[in-house]
Structure 1
Amino acid sequence: MTTTTSRRNRWPFALAGLAASAWAFFLLPPQLKVWATDGAMPPWIRQLSDLPVYDGLRAAADGAGLTDHYALFGAAVAPSLLLLAVALRPATRTLGILGALLHWVTLLTALVVVVSYVTHALPAPWNSLWGAEALGLALMGLLAIACGVVALLRRMRPTWPAVMLALLLPVTVAGTVLFGYWPHGSLVLMGIWLAIIALGWPETVPGRR
């Protein structure tokens, strides 16, 4: 396989990462609208949350009986995590057990997000998973560090995608801080980051056929 063909075949994975980022960003304004006070929201986010498209979505949701907008726009971010799992495939499929763990933890975190938001208003202990997606994101970051280190120890070339993968946890934190909310804000940066990694990850990592 030529390098040109290899890079072309990576675009679906990169586009999955960009789509994950775009979807999380789209859901961020209405989610912050119900989570934060106006004073706690960045002005540009507040302006976006008042766009007609969001007013229309909220009205349609209310008409369908989905009046808990926090749960609605929160659980709706799960597809971003599914798309992240796709974006990770160029890396995870070359890293054996560690790669498989990162892939499945990402998929499981998508399920946890849905359960977390849907059950948030239930009495204890039925709401015990509320906020548990933070643990999923943290575990993804820790596994990404391990995967990046393993790739570097195997002398993967080029090295920069492995370094980027190992830095996924601080990127997750940076997205949370920058946008003031997780998981939506976290996923915005993560999607872009993983799209770049997908384009640069080699077909094989030494030591793994």
Structure 2
Amino acid sequence: MKSGDLTTSNVPQELSAVSKGKAPLLPVTAAPARPGGWRKGIAIFDFIIRLCAMAAALAAAAAMGTSDQTLPFFTQFFQFQASYDDLPTFQFFVIAMGIVAGYLLLSLPFSIVTIVRPFAVGPRVLLLIFDTVALTLTTAAGAAAAAIVYLAHNGNQNTNWLAICQQFGDFCQKVSGAVVASFIAVVLFVFLVVLSAMALRRT
């Protein structure tokens, strides 16, 4: 074997490729994914839930605020009427649902900020605090109104509270629908609080 053949056989293939002007083959690695990218998906879901909760709060306030029924009798001077403003609990319900709907409308820009900047902590903490307050207000208003609606449907013999829903059917139907809408808003607020807590969790 000649000395020239021995030298050529000992040169690695990569060095031979470089000597010929060709770049050596290197393994291609994919760029690592940015950690926490799922926060943007949570922020989008948060925005959608806020719209649904606002619609539920507005529906509850509108249904309760328009609940009014008058029973017809022979003369116009002797009539029975049922309206939401006859009971302070229902008045509180309408005011609370209006406040909650207004808050949800004002919170939409902050929710959009969390979509654009998923890693921003300040807007998310602010939403979490006010969502908890709104959840408490919605639960209190819905629970108080639900107690009155239960008495309107079933009455209470011990306190001589008569069931009025057999006479005021339309009135009871509206106030019952308002209470159901308020509890839908409560469930949506629970989801909002959970989503904010998940987005704030450190990875």
TM-score normalized by the length of structure 2: 0.40
Max Rg structure:
2
TM-score normalized by the length of structure 1: 0.39
